[in-house]
Chain A
């Protein structure tokens, strides 16, 4: 039992961090960023290149991932999303753009980093074994703690800085924020960069544990979508809750349903549909987000 909870918490922490970036972008611009998973993969490969190829310390790789992805995110917002949103009649049209960017990043990653699974050596050795009740390698614990620290840092940033407040205002009511003198263009760009940066950071963190390969992008996006649906789209606390709930669901589901074989994920997904049908706006979302 303890093991199941520990697994769920660890999974939840990394999921929540992925979902945060996605929900931030969604709340600011009403864009479902299909390329979020690809940004995560790109972040992983940047850290891999720095750590495994150049032999620099892990923390440098992590910073490099954050910076590269923030720049990529800012450029994508400024030159692609902003003009398309301005010109299109229905805002859903940005979904095609996002999918195009996802394909594009996939292609770039394949050409630059190759098709192989990549990973960096363990950053901490050893396994915590608490009387066979909880078995958890130290590097997983470290990554889990780092992820939670980043989530906390992100919340503080959104609560107490000028940029954070501006973005929250934007998310609540774009028009009102603009009237109150918030530089909408600038903060949209910052928000997108921040969201992309979070994706890159998770990629950098996880490359030490699960490694990275170019196929992880699409499925990661879909998982992140599910998390923000559970919690409520565009709500930061919702994304965190959604991440932890999905993590727990997988952890418990895999243990309880293991005996029934191939239906584990079928049950998880189907119950998610039932949940959303009963509560259409997720746990904490505004209806019709």
Chain B
């Protein structure tokens, strides 16, 4: 327990103090956006990981990220909401939507579920193109930056438009969100709910026969997963101040899934590490020019060849499995 708390403390200090300090002394201000992206994408990946945890391969997270983004964008531009209010609303909308979609499709398993969710991402993009409320192909642009939040005249969050360094602010918000989401995920996995989910992953019929309400459990896990996707999408809209039907697409859905594989499906923090490696790796390889994709994919294949159970399995002692 003590070791865990120490680890948590070290992690928090790293992301909130050491990283900004390193960026300040090295002058690599561009890393703020990269790391902000990693934090947000890893939130969406955490959702995908949770669906893996109940034994489903989810390649549909892009649809929820897109939906969350649109909910936030529409509420801000058409209904005049504050961004901070839209953030949880985007998550809740996606959670609700996922219950409707999840009820029928969660009966599917294996590759069937994977493929239906893959199609779902494309359906999301096409719906965004066709629905009138999303402004179709023209997207929604010129969305204002997050505004001020104050309680009794005391400013809790300053207006981002007045900040000297909105990059740092976005970074801190994204990392804070990531910490909260992963804390929630960790809590879920190590609770009764988590044990039940694991039983689903191993044998659904068996757990149903001993009285586990599998249908309820599946939908619950899937809606939490979609909630994560929704808030990640909404946060991205605040940064890019625009959203298009192509803002999240099949490639993103596939990447969310790959992040989980790369980090390791057996580890709560796997998706975080996977996202960091996949996204940051591409950025670092930027100097290699036209061989970027070649090197990137070769490294991916090699990693898979030597560590097929994810990078975190590197630190696993032989014979000890969580």
Contact = CB atoms under 8 A, between A and B. Distances in A.
The answer to whether A and B belong to the same complex is yes
Interface of A: 26, 32, 34, 80, 83-84, 87-90, 92-93, 95-97, 99-101, 103-104, 106-108, 110-111, 218, 222, 225-226, 229, 233, 261-263, 265-266, 269-270, 272-274, 276-278, 280-282, 288-289
Name, among A34, A90, A96, A265, the residue most crowded by chain B CB atoms within 10 Å (CB to CB): A96
Contacts, number: 137
Given A99-B254, A101-B301, A92 B112 contact: no
Interface stretch (B24-32, B216-224, B292-300): B292-300
Given A107-B293, A266-B126, A280 B108 contact: yes
A246 to B, nearest CB: 12
Given A100-B300, A277-B104, A277-B108, 16 more contacts: A80-B301, A93-B308, A95-B258, A97-B301, A97-B305, A106-B293, A106-B297, A111-B294, A266-B126, A269-B126, A270-B123, A273-B105, A276-B105, A278-B104, A282-B112, A289-B111
Interface of B: 57, 104-105, 107-112, 114-116, 118-120, 122-123, 126-127, 129-130, 136, 250-251, 254, 257-258, 261-262, 265-266, 290-291, 293-294, 296-298, 300-301, 304-305, 308-310
Contacts of A103: 293, 296-297, 300
B297 to A, nearest CB: 4
Contacts of B290: 110-111
Given A96-B258, A273-B105, A277-B104, A289 B300 contact: no
Contacts of A89: 266, 308-309
Contacts of B293: 103, 106-107, 110
B301 A90 contact: no
25 contacts: A80-B301, A87-B308, A88-B309, A95-B257, A95-B261, A96-B258, A97-B304, A99-B300, A100-B300, A100-B301, A103-B296, A104-B294, A104-B297, A104-B301, A106-B293, A222-B250, A225-B115, A261-B130, A262-B130, A262-B136, A266-B130, A272-B119, A276-B105, A281-B112, A288-B112
